[in-house]
Amino acid sequence: MFLLMLHVQAGLSQCQKSIVEQITNIYENGQLDFAWDYCENLYDGRGYTAGIIGFCTGTGDALELIELYNKMPGQTGEFKSMMKALRYYGKNGLGYTSKIKGYCSAFRKASKNNVFRKAQVQILNNVYYNPSQALAQKYGLKLPVSLGQFYDTAIQHGMGGDYDSLNQIAERVTAKSPANGGDEKKWLQEFLAVRKDDLCNPANQETQEVWCQSVSRVTSYEYVLKNSPSFTDTAYALDNDGKPVTVKCNLNLEN
């Protein structure tokens, strides 16, 4: 996975961005704020999952995060002893954890350092947020609910060419996209249906059990689409138990 430096010309305001980030935080960690020091092995074939968007040691984004952090002034070397194993697991897509047993302890310690927090936000933006919004532009999507859904899908499914990625889920939508004169809400409804099916029938069978339990994040966005598709400073979503939750602008979220 490469660090993509993309400039998104239009799309969500900073206020709206904070809302979609908070909505995804609910799905990822059951809270509105970023879980900077979260870390656990979900046994989904992706190794340790940690941080504000679930950086995984077995998919490469955790490696990108830590290598970025290691180059930043003020880093304090929490991962130094395990870099060889992290590179091996990350570059080869391996969910093993036997050689990085102290990873979660190191991650939690590093998360007390504001430099590491800035690195997490930088990877969020460069690897997931910016690319997802650029892809949304390709399909002519403009509604905040659509742009938020693309961000959330990128976080869970990743970007790229594999069957379960955001890119390929969007490709499987048969409705005419807004870029081709189609109705955006109808296109998004089908996108949500395709994503929901992918969560329970992924090409990567190792993720099936965990992913199928997370269809509530799609149901939640169906709720956003119905109740606040054009949100500006407040959106109405569902939490992981299916209960309505009001999500407001928080410009201090990334600090």
44 catalytic? Reply is yes
CB within 8 Å of 130: residues ≥ 6 apart: 4, 5, 6, 7, 8
Tokens 């969007």 sit on residue: 170
Which of 21, 37, 40, 44 is the catalytic position? 44
Catalytic, out of 28, 61, 78, 152 = 28
The amino acid that residue 132 corresponds to is S
Which of 178, 176, 177, 158 is CA-nearest to residue 168? 158
Among 91, 63, 61, 96, which Cα is nearest to 206's? 96
CA distance 60 to 80: 17
DSSP designation for 129: I
Tokens found for residue 206: 């190792």
Q: Which residues contact 195 (CB under 8 A, 6 or more apart)?
A: 153, 157, 169, 218
Q: DSSP readout, 176-195?
A: PPGGGT--HHHHHHHHHHHH
Which residues are the active-site residues? 28, 44
